[in-house]
Amino acid sequence: DGFQPKLPKFGFGDQTSYSITSDLVDSTVETGAVRHGAECFNWYFPQELDPEFLVVWEGFAGEKVSDPTFGVSEMLKEKIKSYIDAFACCARKGKDLPGMPVQ
C-alpha cells in the first residue's frame, strides 16, 4: 500500500539533531517536557499540534510570568512577529534577508 518507512524513535533528522533530541528526552523524562523530535519534517506520519506549548526562554529572566504556556494561535502570532522583526533588523543593517531566521 505505498511507501511506508520505518520511523526512528525520535523521528527523522541528521545525527547531531537526533543526538540532541535523544539526550534532551532522557534528561527531561521525569517531567515529560520533551517527548519526541520536531514534526516539521514528518511527511509520512503527520500529527496534530499540541494544544499548548511551554515556552522556555531566557527573555523571561527578571520578568514575572504567571503562565509561560501559549496556545497554537498565540504561538503562530509570535512566530510571525519574530520573522517580521528579524527581517526588519536585517533590512536596517543593509543585509540580505534570511529565508529562515534562527530563533
Would 3 be classed as within a structural domain?
Answer: no
Same domain, 78 and 55: yes
b or e along 39-78 (b: 16 or more beta carbons within 10 Å of the residue's beta carbon)? eeeeeeeeeeeeeeeeeeeeeeeeeeeeeeeeeeeebeee
Same domain, 101 and 76: yes
pLDDT at 100 over 50: no
Same domain, 57 and 98: yes
Same domain, 56 and 82: yes
| pTM score over 0.95 | no
Provide the grid cell at 95: 543585509
Q: How many domains does the chain have?
A: 2
Q: Tell me the pLDDT band of 50, cut-offs 50, 70 and 90.
A: confident
Q: Position 90: which residue type?
A: C
Looking at residue 43, its pLDDT comes to 59
**Structural domain of residue 74, as residue ranges?**
48-103
Would 1 be classed as within a structural domain?
Answer: no
